């Protein structure tokens, strides 16, 4: 096998790795249809691990350069829409997390994210930012489940975040943001593991793990808004 062929094969395997998330998403769907909500959420979070790591692999193996005829970003966007938006909204409807008419309120994030994913400036790769709320509906879903908020609060959060999709505020793109890499990587992974652990526990332990897992999302939001404010002042 020539070096060029070997590089293309490695690049192809990266795409296979990205696409393998659909297997987890299908499993999560089956669990959801069987009312196994906790396991469905656990598998849905595992799919996030693939999304959080495939970009690093793509850059490591120069996927764009080696396989220019295959658009890995489009593949990633298709899977992300299912993983981060469609399936979480279906979960909210199935678990009766939203006010009636749930289909109406559930359609808000789906429509907003469809427009968000279609924006050519949705990701400022060079600067390391998303523009507008980056469709973290699956993460919100996990907190809805763990904190057991009433449907009206969940619905209010969904409405607010839907509006934020259209407001061009910069949010840190964790895998591309050049500053505080270890803090962002470490914080996101630590809090992600806390969420996974919370899904496997109950009672006071679950509450403690859930509250601890909020530390990085709070930092992420505050720091993103601070950076956006600074950029607007200097811009």
What CATH number corresponds to the domain at position 77?
Answer: 1.20.120
pLDDT at 194: 95
Name residue, tokens 């009636």. 100
pLDDT at 125: 66
pLDDT at 186: 93
Distance CA 156, CA 172 (A): 24
Report the predicted TM-score, pTM, of the whole model to 2 decimal places: 0.91
Tally of domains in the chain = 1
Contact 58, 64 (CB under 8 A): yes
pLDDT at 42: 93
Residue-wise over 158-181: b if at least 16 C-beta within 10 A, else e?
beebbeebeeebbbbbbbbbeeee
Contact 230, 83 (CB under 8 A): no
Alpha carbons within 13 angstroms on the beta-carbon side of residue 128 total 12
Distance CA 192, CA 45 (A): 8
Domain around 87: 3-234
First to last CA, the chain: 51
Distance CA 172, CA 174 (A): 6
The residues of the chain scoring below 70 in pLDDT are: 1-4, 125-126, 235
pLDDT at 235: 64
pLDDT at 95: 96
Task: Look up residue 85 and give its DSSP letter.
Answer: I
pLDDT at 2: 60
- Return the beta strands (E) in the chain as ranges: 123-124, 129-131, 170-172
């Amino acid at each position: 096998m020539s070096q060029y062929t070997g590089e293309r094969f490695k690049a192809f395997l990266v795409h296979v790795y990205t696409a393998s998330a659909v297997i987890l998403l299908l499993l999560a769907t089956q669990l959801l249809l069987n009312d196994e909500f906790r396991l469905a959420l656990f598998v849905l979070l595992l799919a996030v691990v693939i999304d959080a790591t495939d970009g690093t692999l793509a850059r490591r193996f120069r996927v764009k350069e080696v396989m220019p005829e295959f658009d890995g970003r489009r593949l990633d966007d298709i899977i992300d829409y299912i993983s981060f938006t469609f399936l979480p909204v279906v979960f909210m409807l199935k678990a009766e997390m939203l006010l009636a008419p749930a289909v109406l309120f559930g359609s808000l994030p789906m429509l907003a994210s469809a427009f968000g994913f279609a924006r050519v400036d949705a990701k400022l790769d060079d600067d390391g930012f998303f523009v507008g709320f980056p469709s973290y509906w699956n993460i919100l879903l996990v907190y809805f489940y763990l904190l057991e908020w009433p449907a009206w609060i969940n619905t209010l959060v969904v409405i607010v975040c839907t509006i934020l999709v259209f407001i061009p505020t910069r949010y840190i793109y964790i895998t591309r943001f050049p500053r505080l890499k270890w803090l962002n990587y470490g914080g996101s992974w630590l809090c992600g593991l806390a969420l996974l652990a919370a899904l496997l526990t109950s009672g006071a332990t679950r509450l403690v793990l859930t509250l601890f897992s909020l530390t990085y999302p709070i930092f992420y939001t505050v720091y993103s808004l601070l950076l956006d404010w600074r950029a607007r002042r200097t811009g």
